[in-house]
Amino acid sequence: MDDRRVHTPFQGVPVYAHGWRIVPLLLWVPRPLPLLIPPANASRMFLPFNYLPEYGIRHGMSVDLSNYLISILNAASIFGRIIPGYIGDKIGRFNMMVIISYLSAVLVFALWTPSSGSVPIILFAALYGFSTGAFVSLAPALVAQISDIREFGVRSGALFAVVSFGALTGNPIAGALISKYDGGFRGAQFFAGAVLLGASTLFLATRWRLVGLELRKKV
């Protein structure tokens, strides 16, 4: 099928629409979608959802208080699904996703990894819930922004198909790392942070592929 030059309704960003075909997810091609899909493996960002309560107990929190960590995280996620989307309409959705993705990685390395005691762990749960909520709500908008409307369904399906692999493998890998380090969380924390950092960089590469090095460009 011949390429058809189209314009999306989002910011007027030009894209090329193609007939559906399977492409290597990490292949550098003139279309930005394959660069957008790999960061879906940032579903490993959900690793703290499973291990944060246990981490809290091992670092001085009571069992009762640690059980509220996921509730705090999910409550903050509500605001993360709304506020960054609103800001993204003002400064650009890709710009917002890059910022929020790097924020998630920084929170893992700078706040979760060294945290000990109730206050820093609760603070991490709230801030991390906010950032992960933004990832969930912004990802489909990014697919829509670079896709012909006729291909949005199949492309968003491809995105979440890749997310499923990350969700399936991330927590078992983290569990194996915790076991390897005799119950210590440092290996799992570095794993989560490194994957988030790599995914954030791929989002940045996708933005570069769309508009180049124009840092002030709304995209």
Q: What is the pLDDT of residues 69-119, one digit of tens each?
A: 999 999 999 999 999 999 999 999 999 999 999 999 999 999 999 998 899
Longest dimension (CA), the chain: 62
Vertex 197: Cα angle to 25 and 30 (nearest 5): 35
Give the H or E element holding residue 17.
Answer: strand 14-17
**R_g (Cα) of the chain, nearest Å:** 18
Q: Where are the domains of the chain?
A: 35-211
DSSP structure string for 131-150: HHHHHHHHHHHHHHHTS-GG
Q: What is the pLDDT of residues 36-80, one digit of tens each?
A: 555 545 556 778 888 999 999 999 899 999 999 999 999 999 999
Q: Are 147 and 18 in contact (CB under 8 A)?
A: no
**What local confidence, expressed as pLDDT, does residue 39 receive?**
52
Torsion of CA 105, 107, 41, 211, to 10 degrees: -50
One-letter amino acid at 20 equals W
pTM, rounded to two decimals: 0.81
**Does the pLDDT at position 128 exceed 90?**
yes
**What local confidence, expressed as pLDDT, does residue 31 receive?**
53
35-211 in CATH: which number?
A: 1.20.1250.20
CA distance 99 to 102: 5
Q: SS3 of 125, please?
A: helix
One-letter amino acid at 206 equals T
Average pLDDT of the chain to the nearest whole number: 81
